Amino acid sequence: MLYYLHHLSDYVPVLNVTKYITFRTAAASITALGIGLFLGPYMIRRLRSFQIGQVIRQEGPATHRTKAGTPTMGGLLILTSAVVPTLLWANLSNWFIWVAVLSTLAFGAVGFADDYLKIVRRSHHGLRPRYKIVWQVLIGVCIGIALLMLADSEPPLYNTRLVIPFFKRAITDLHWFYAAFAVLVLVGSTNMVNLTDGLDGLAISVFAVAAAAFTALAYVSGHREFAEYLQLTRFSPLTGELTVFCASLLGASLGFLWYNSYPAEIFMGDVGSLGLGGALGTVALLIKHEVLLGVVGGVFVIEALSVIIQVGSFKLTGKRVFKMAPIHHHFELIGWSEPKIITRFIIVAIIFALFSLTTLKLR
């Protein structure tokens, strides 16, 4: 909404800055951080008053049992801190903004239902896995159809071409199959973030690094001069506005991390992890860096692969590869302290993020 203040610049010249993406990106990030820091204590108090506390798995590490009862569903704080600044500072006539916001809220709603059932049942079991996947797939299908509609608009606002990092000339147009591909990306990203959410501040820290990388990727992909110089054949005039959305995600992540850092005062719950995973996957689709998502979110991929390897190995051989999966629990059980695991994973996440930026110019 504040974007439209630049129309008053004839009367108040300083308001002209609101039309620039760079200014609104910084403003959105600061606003999101401010909302998170301001509402955090209130949210923690309210969740405690409603006795909305974390239920710990009995088969999990023994050190986690002291965390039982810590307020959860903090994802509500993250999503509020991200969506409100986006609506304040973004150009709301941009279709990409609405796709990103609605996708984030839809996946967050699935997570909310899962968290709610866990609290009501006083168990770590919420939605049945198959129901959770079904809802994720349905949301993914809706997003995929929306993207196809944007691609079929006149003039086209989107394209269904797929570009592989390091091989920019190897372009494949998926056409109608792109909707199925979008579902795969979205379901994968939501569950990868969800699996990473197991230590205080781990998932939100890694997500913040990924959000920062996507802020840069969204900006260069939506800037015609940068896109042409970097040979980004997927340029769209709508892409740049997602920089504001990504910056809001980054600010919201930092605001939440203030209270989620070790030892955590609040957990994000599935409403946070599924919402953030959906946001990450949707942004990757919209800015046409779908494959690069696997690099930017390399830590999330590793966490998911550790679970797949563990389950596959146990079913095929009856033996476990790791002491416990996801892999951050394995490191706990071999003696690494929780803060050390988190710090080292953040370092790895930063390396992945920096590496992803190197692919922009490579042909």
Q: Where are the domains of the chain?
A: 2-358
At 127, is the pLDDT very low, low, confident or very high (cuts 50, 70, 90)? confident
DSSP per residue, 191-257: HHHHHHTTSTTHHHHHHHHHHHHHHHHHHHHT-HHHHHHTT-TT--TTGGGHHHHHHHHHHHHHHHH
The string of pLDDT tens digits covering residues 233-250 is 555 778 999 999 999 999
In whole numbers, what is the pLDDT of the chain averaged over residues?
89
| pLDDT tier, 94 (very low <50, low <70, confident <90, very high otherwise) | very high
CA distance 43 to 363: 48
User: Which range is least confidently modeled, 79-88, 152-161, 211-220, 263-272?
Assistant: 152-161
Give the model's pLDDT for residue 64: 59
pLDDT at 363: 47
- Do residues 161 and 233 make contact, with C-beta atoms less than 8 angstroms apart? yes
Q: What pLDDT score does 225 carry?
A: 61
Of the candidate ranges 142-151, 165-174, 248-257, the one whose mean pLDDT is the lowest: 165-174
pLDDT of residue 323: 92
Residue 3: partners with Cβ closer than 8 Å, 6 or more residues away: 18, 19, 24, 89, 90, 91, 92
Q: What are the pLDDT digits (tens) for 310-323? A: 999 999 999 999 99
Q: How do residues 287-306 score in pLDDT, each as one tens digit?
A: 999 999 999 999 999 999 99
In this prediction the pTM is 0.93
Alpha-carbon distances, residue 20 vs 5, 16, 92 (angstroms): 11, 8, 14
Confidence band of 180 (pLDDT split at 50, 70, 90): very high
Q: What is the pLDDT of residue 53?
A: 64
